[in-house]
Amino acid sequence: MILKTAVVVAGDIAVFLAFVIFGKAEHEITLGQALFRTALPFGFVWVVGSPWLGAYKASTLYNLSMLAWKIPLIWLLCGLVALVGRALLTDASWILSFAVVSIAVQGVLLISWRGVFMLAVTKLVKEPIC
């Protein structure tokens, strides 16, 4: 169980890094700036806050109906906190379009990644090992 949870944490972090890499290419900023200004606040708030809200419980990791409603709610809360943290950290103004895009895109990526993980794990468990 610990190994699977570690894989999910790594995948979640990869989501934030992918968002930064795509955004970096779109907005022509350095990778360091993108990591500090975007990946750090979102990743930090998610990794620190989401476990307390149940994002890594077995029921959330392996139950599609729990995943479908719980991860979006947890992400919305964590994402909003991260946006506030990002604004404070970078002394940047609140940009509604960035807020909407970042919450939506990273949310879809998180849910998709978690769904792929769940399908892979359940398929491996059901298939006999030869």
> Which domain range does residue 109 map to?
2-125
The whole-angstrom separation of Cα 36 and Cα 105 is: 19
Query: Is 17 domain-assigned?
Result: yes
- Please, which residues have CB within 8 angstroms of residue 121's CB and are 6 or more apart in sequence? 4, 61, 62
The per-residue pLDDT for range 35-85, each reduced to its tens digit, is 887 889 999 999 999 999 999 999 999 999 999 999 999 999 999 999 999
Q: How many domains does the chain have?
A: 1
Query: Is 115 domain-assigned?
Result: yes
| Encoded tokens for 70 | 């719980």
67 neighbors 114 (Cβ within 8 angstroms): yes
The whole-angstrom separation of Cα 71 and Cα 57 is: 11
Query: Is 130 domain-assigned?
Result: no
Query: Is 28 domain-assigned?
Result: yes
- pTM for this entry: 0.86
HSE-CB at 96 with a 13 A cutoff on CA atoms is 0
Choose between 32 and 3: higher pLDDT.
3
